[in-house]
Amino acid sequence: MSTPIYLSASEAATELGVRPQTLYAYVSRGLIRSIPGPGKQRRYDASDVRRLQGRKDGPGEGGSRPLSGDEVLETRLTLIADGGPYYRGHSATGLARSSTLEAVATLLWDCDTDPFAGKVPAPPPAADPALGPIDRLMMAVAAWPAQDRAAYTLSPVLLAEKGADLLRYGVAALLDTDPSADPVHEQFTKAWTVEPSVAPVLRAALVLVADHELNTSAFAARCAASTRAPLHATLLSGLGAFSGPRHGAASDRVSAWLEEIDEPEDVDRVIGGRLARGEPLPGFGHTVYSGPDPRAECLLAILKEQAGGTPFVDLLPSVIDAGNEFYGLKPNIDFALAAAQKAFSLPEGAGKLLFCGGRIVGWIAHALEQYRIPEQIRPRAAYVGERPS
């Protein structure tokens, strides 16, 4: 077994070409592992440093510089650390054990009063039955000004209430139901006609996916908010990014191969077969967490508590062990969502809908925070094409 190489803080910062403060930020976000060193110093995993440096030094062709790894703005919403996301200093995995999505919304939105105390909005307009839930939601959000006279307001006094209305309205569009004052997880439980024992898993899933710092859809929502687009338009920006197959559909890709596993002998056949064909294993590994995704660990633990003893849930440890043995990776939140979908026979795409319903809270939170920042987001590109002679 090879011995890991560790660097001092100055060595790691020099290799990365960053200040020590940026190195420490990478560690807090789980991008670089560290261990105690001599005295009060710490040592930093050289493989993580060099992998991150490789991402920063990609080839200089148009579009090839990855927009990841470096902090581009400040936020008070979510910290990503070894224990997972922390919403304004509160552990998301801890909140998942007891809080509703609405309670997390009031935390992320920094509310002084309850924005959910008002009346429930009217139902979204009827949509073409051929539309899927995400497209139905985007159509409903685009039509929001038809029912809200103050849809374009940017008043800080009103925005949290507008956010609460849009959450209820958006969940109704996703589920093809009428807006309700019931907690969001109960709305999912009723719409999918599942047993009450499923509700704690759905509640936890919604809380765990509510926000995850500056992911692609959150950044899209913030860009729109920085132009002072109204709240519903910032949601459309986030939804547009979420609808891409590399973001919102991640749990669907997990479900596609997880559906092939029903018996113990299926585990090595399915996962080993993917490895032999050179295929990735969706649901394992994460670009932010170098180790396990704490959100997945939390949701899978709650799933075991609620459905332990059922054949599929009892198979999950074998699936996770095989993913680690064959790919060297740990499960992420998309795997946990897909596992819950299969364990409870939830509708097709249920993991994606839970992800979207919970993330509405995060998109609104990012928009509200961005409205308080005077500058418009306008990064610069590194031009690598032909120059005028």
Q: Is 178 a catalytic residue?
A: no
Compute the distance between CA of residue 331 and CA of residue 321 in angstroms, rounded to an integer: 10
Q: Is the pLDDT of residue 256 over 90?
A: yes
Write the pLDDT tens digit of every residue in 195-243: 988 999 999 999 999 999 999 999 999 999 999 999 999 999 999 999 9
Higher pLDDT, 55 or 265: 265
Q: What phi and psi, each to the nearest 5 degrees, are found at residue 90?
A: -105, 130
Q: Is the pLDDT of residue 344 over 60?
A: yes
Higher pLDDT, 270 or 54: 270
Instruction: Give whole-number Cα distances, 295 to 86, 332, 339, in Å.
Output: 11, 7, 13
Q: Is the pLDDT of residue 84 over 90?
A: no
Query: Which of 137-141's residues contact partners 24+ apart within 8 Å by CB, and which partners?
Result: 137/170, 137/173, 137/174, 137/239, 137/356, 138/236, 138/239, 138/240, 138/243, 139/173, 140/169, 140/170, 140/172, 140/173, 141/166, 141/169, 141/170, 141/173, 141/232, 141/235, 141/236, 141/239
Catalytic residue among 45, 286, 293, 366: 286
- Residue 198: per-residue pLDDT: 96
Write the pLDDT tens digit of every residue in 118-145: 999 999 999 999 999 999 999 999 999 9
Catalytic residue among 45, 165, 252, 334: 334
pTM for this model (two decimals): 0.84
Question: What pLDDT band is residue 364 in, cutting at 50, 70 and 90?
Answer: very high
What structural domains and CATH numbers belong to the chain?
6-56 (1.10.1660.10), 100-389 (1.10.230.10)
Q: Is 286 a catalytic residue?
A: yes
Write the pLDDT tens digit of every residue in 15-62: 888 888 888 878 877 788 888 888 778 899 998 888 887 755 544 444
